[in-house]
Amino acid sequence: MVSSSVKDVAALARVSIGTVSNVLNRPEIVSPETVERVTLAMEKLSYVRNEAARQLRVGHSHALGLITLSGGNPFFTEVTTAAEDEAATVGYSVIAGNSDEKKDRESGYLTLFEELRVRGILISPVGNVIPRLRRMRDRGIPAVLVDRMSKDMSFSSVSVDDVAGGSLAVSHLIESGRRRIAFVGGPSEIRQVSDRLLGARQAAAAHPGVTLEVITLAALTVQEGKRAGEALVERPADARPDAIFAANDLLAIGLLQALYMQGRIAIPDEIALVGYDDILFASASVVPLTSVRQPSRLIGETAVQILLEEADDPTLEPRQILYQPELVVRASSS
Amino acid sequence: MVSSSVKDVAALARVSIGTVSNVLNRPEIVSPETVERVTLAMEKLSYVRNEAARQLRVGHSHALGLITLSGGNPFFTEVTTAAEDEAATVGYSVIAGNSDEKKDRESGYLTLFEELRVRGILISPVGNVIPRLRRMRDRGIPAVLVDRMSKDMSFSSVSVDDVAGGSLAVSHLIESGRRRIAFVGGPSEIRQVSDRLLGARQAAAAHPGVTLEVITLAALTVQEGKRAGEALVERPADARPDAIFAANDLLAIGLLQALYMQGRIAIPDEIALVGYDDILFASASVVPLTSVRQPSRLIGETAVQILLEEADDPTLEPRQILYQPELVVRASSS
DNA sequence: GTGAAAGCGCTAACAA
DNA sequence: TTGTTAGCGCTTTCAC
């Protein structure tokens, strides 16, 4: 057996296919009795609308594309869930992909979304995708940057002030008496990383006598954090920093595993540690983690709202929404 | 400006649209020069194939639908990533949704996937979706159950022996001297939960003098685990269990927060704790968590393989793949 | 090796 | 209020 189409429904309900389409899309203009009859026929045949055909006709789909930096990061999971919920309230679905911070994966998803003619794209970029997004916008697919601002403000964005966040974290470490601070971060092409580092630098520069060492890793994962921690354990004790600001909580948890659990380095006594994102597991880690919290759900919801507005009216000016982060102090730094 | 179509490409390359379609789908049958000319034209126009039109013609999409029980559970994140990777190797993409253990969300995704005419469906069911899956299979959309077997074996499944896992966990607790064991789990309609409980019961029954208390929660989340933990803290010390087997690690981490961090109950001395899934954060939690590990990536990969085979050949007999879980002992129970 | 043409299922404009 | 019809972009025979 194969799927039934409007034609089958029309035949069974003894109406034209145009009427079937109308009860699907504008039931208010068709008489209640007819609606009833058609609906019944649909149920009898378990008719399911063919979205591809609808989309081919109207030109775009009822889906939004979302590309996050990492599937394993609960922060992005929360953003995604919030976006899905918000989109669902207006009948849209979200197709989520994650780039794992890799440019070719990012590019692959953009192509997929383009082939799918999604209504719009939400993205935390890795590579320089702005030119491509611009082309896509010219062809009717708008985009909103998530968790990162566009430098030239040519796209709307919903983000959190990462410079302020970095500054918040490092200021806190300095205030609690730390002087030899290390920033452990990922690839600097990732704006979130470079901004958090910038904020850290500003805070350090404001306090004479404070040094900031920068440790750059390949990715923002627990594994990489662990690797970095193992390298630190290898150092002679007096060559180690007395505080670490990790670019995200995954990294911080990896550091915790290597420094505290394997290396038996006292946290925070020997080394204080601050993470970023305040994921669900930060408060329950070996040493509860001080972290910079971002309003993840709010980011996802706002981004969807702006995107759908721009999809409806492409002439809208790009908007930059910037939320402020918040420091949550726990045992790892006090 | 609007998207260009095969027609535009054909015009620019001075060939027919049939030829354009051929270079897209069977380049080997068209002359190299023509391929070259058409490819060039595509690039000039930045042509992107309209997937909806392709799909309308061929009858199904190049996407697989995946419904997991929880977006916030790293176990399912890993299954999802593995499925995406596996699907990508054969040119398929995965549309992932999570039911959050809610029947109506599950049903919504099934409808979406049906409208999208996905090639097949991977699902960890909440409600009784078997009849519906059967209808969908009759219409050409096969399904594979993930992380759960179908009782009547009418669908293929890729799962882990949850009864064995539950037994493994509780046997370990008993061997380490515990007697008053509590099972903290979610809704019993979720097969994973009821199977793990069954295994726990079997292990308890095999040891006279061991009691098993069952605490049922609304969902398998950190929040719910925390609520359960708070209730336990309220009890007089001698009315508390001396060991807890939590149906997953999220629950276990919530319990840890309430019992250990807020309630100052010694883990494992007063209460030993075992979780399930061995998520990335289990080893780095306040008290590193003993957990039952499942081969998450393997589950995702295998499920995709079987699904695609069944999509190609609907006459295939359903297969049941059952992996064995593994106990990872850490500080929370020893 | 290439071209012409039918038709997948749907929506929307227009006619009745 | 309902019916008729064109056509969205693509793939796929079937001729040539």
Question: What is the per-residue pLDDT across B64-76, written as a single tens digit (0 to 9) for each?
Answer: 999 999 988 999 9
- Give A106-156 pLDDT, tens digit per residue: 999 999 999 999 999 999 999 899 999 999 999 999 999 999 988 889 999
Q: Does A256 touch chain B (CB under 8 A)?
A: yes
Q: Does B27 touch chain A (CB under 8 A)?
A: no
pLDDT at A83: 97
Q: What length does chain B have?
A: 334
Q: Does B288 touch chain A (CB under 8 A)?
A: yes
Nearest CB among A72, A95, A256 relative to B77 is that of: A72
Please tell me the distance from the alpha carbon of residue B306 to that of residue B208, in angstroms, as a whole number: 43
What average pLDDT is seen over chain A? 95
Instruction: Report strand pairing: A326-328 vs A290-293.
Output: antiparallel
User: What distance in Å separates residue B330's CA from the closest CA in chain A?
Assistant: 12
Instruction: Report strand pairing: A211-216 vs A63-68.
Output: unpaired
Does the distance separating the beta carbons of B115 and A139 come in below 8 Å?
no
- Give B156-171 pLDDT, tens digit per residue: 999 999 999 999 999 9
What is the C-alpha R_g of chain B? 25
Q: Within a 13 Å sphere around the CA of A103, how many CA atoms are in the beta-carbon half? A: 8
- Give A301-310 pLDDT, tens digit per residue: 999 999 999 9
Query: Which chain B residues are within 8 Å of A87, Cβ to Cβ?
Result: none
**Chain A interface mutation, best of B66, B75, B81, B95, highest count of A Cβ atoms under 10 Å:** B95
Check pLDDT > 70 for residue B320.
yes
| B182 sits in which H/E element | strand B180-185
The set of strand D positions with any atom below 7 Å of a protein CB reads 1-5, 7-13
Query: Which chain A residues are within 8 Å of B74, Cβ to Cβ?
Result: 72, 74
Measure, in angstroms, how far nucleotide C8 C1' is from residue A33 CA. 30
CB A235 within 8 A of CB A213: no
Q: Does A93 touch chain B (CB under 8 A)?
A: yes
CB A146 within 8 A of CB A159: yes
Which among B58, B115, B50 has a CA at the least distance from the CA of A59? Answer: B50
Nearest CB among B61, B95, B283 relative to A257 is that of: B283
Residue matched to tokens 């507005």: A309
* Numbers of helices and strands, H then E, in chain A: 12, 12
Which among A243, A114, A133, A236 has a CA at the least distance from the CA of A184? Answer: A243
B61 token code pair: 């999409």
Does the distance separating the beta carbons of B117 and A51 come in below 8 Å?
yes
Q: Does B314 touch chain A (CB under 8 A)?
A: no
Query: Which chain A residues are within 8 Å of B116, Cβ to Cβ?
Result: 51-52
At B151, the pLDDT band (50, 70, 90 cuts) reads confident
Does the distance separating the beta carbons of A72 and B256 come in below 8 Å?
no
For residue A158, the cross-strand partners are A146, A321
pLDDT at A306: 98
Does the distance separating the beta carbons of A56 and B52 come in below 8 Å?
yes
CB B286 within 8 A of CB B260: yes
Mutual angle of helices A6-13 and A17-25, in 10-degree steps: 110
CB A130 within 8 A of CB A75: no
Q: Which residues of B43-67 are buried (b: 16+ CB within 10 A; e: fewer)?
A: eebebbbbbbbbbbeeebbbbbbbb
pTM as predicted: 0.93
pLDDT at A95: 94
Please tell me the distance from the alpha carbon of residue B228 to that of residue B238, in angstroms, as a whole number: 17
CA geometry: angle A22, A24, A29, nearest 5 deg = 40
Q: Does A237 touch chain B (CB under 8 A)?
A: no
B153 token code pair: 């074996």
Q: What is the widest separation between alpha-carbon atoms in chain A? A: 86
Residue of B nearest to A52 (CA): B52
Domains (range + CATH), chain B? 6-49 (no CATH), 58-160+296-325 (3.40.50.2300), 162-293 (3.40.50.2300)
Check pLDDT > 90 for residue B19.
yes
Measured from Cα to the C1' atom, the residue closest to C5 is B18
User: What distance in Å separates residue B163's CA from the closest CA in chain A?
Assistant: 28
- Give A241-299 pLDDT, tens digit per residue: 999 999 999 999 999 999 999 999 999 999 999 999 999 999 989 999 999 999 999 99
Which among B118, B25, B38, B54 has a CA at the least distance from the CA of A117? Answer: B54
Mutual angle of helices A32-44 and A17-25, in 10-degree steps: 100
CB B291 within 8 A of CB B278: yes
B201 token code pair: 């019961």
Check pLDDT > 90 for residue B137.
yes
Q: Does A84 touch chain B (CB under 8 A)?
A: yes
Q: Does A315 touch chain B (CB under 8 A)?
A: no
Helix (H, G, I), strand (E, B) or coil at A189: coil
Q: Which residues touch strand C (CB under 7 A)?
A: A 2-3, 5-7, 17-18, 20-22, 24-25, 47, 49-50, 53-54, 56-58; B 14-19, 22, 29-31, 33-34, 53, 56-57, 59
Q: What percent of chain B has pLDDT over 70?
A: 100
CA dihedral B205, B207, B212, B218 (to 10 degrees): -60
Q: Indicate the residue type of B211.
A: T
pLDDT at A1: 63
pLDDT at A40: 96
Q: Does A102 touch chain B (CB under 8 A)?
A: no
Mean pLDDT of the A201-207 span? 97
Measured from Cα to the C1' atom, the residue closest to C13 is A18
- The answer to whether the bond into A142 is cis (omega within 30° of 0) is no
Q: Within a 13 Å sphere around the CA of B106, how many CA atoms are in the beta-carbon half? A: 19
> What is the nearest nucleotide to A17, using C1' and CA?
D3
Measured from Cα to the C1' atom, the residue closest to C12 is A18
- Give A27-68 pLDDT, tens digit per residue: 999 999 999 999 999 999 999 999 999 999 999 999 999 999
Neighbours of B316 (CB within 10 A): 13
Q: What percent of chain A has pLDDT over 70?
A: 100
Residue of A nearest to B258 (CA): A284
Q: Indicate the residue type of B130.
A: I
At A2, the pLDDT band (50, 70, 90 cuts) reads confident
First to last CA, chain B: 67
Nearest CB among A2, A49, A280 relative to B139 is that of: A2
What average pLDDT is seen over chain B? 95
pLDDT at B1: 63
Tell me the H-state helices in chain A: 6-13, 17-25, 32-44, 51-58, 74-88, 103-115, 130-138, 162-175, 191-205, 222-234, 249-256, 296-312
Q: What percent of chain B has pLDDT over 90?
A: 96
Check pLDDT > 90 for residue B20.
yes
Please tell me the distance from the alpha carbon of residue B245 to that of residue B196, in angstroms, as a whole number: 9
- Centroid of chain to Cα A165: 17
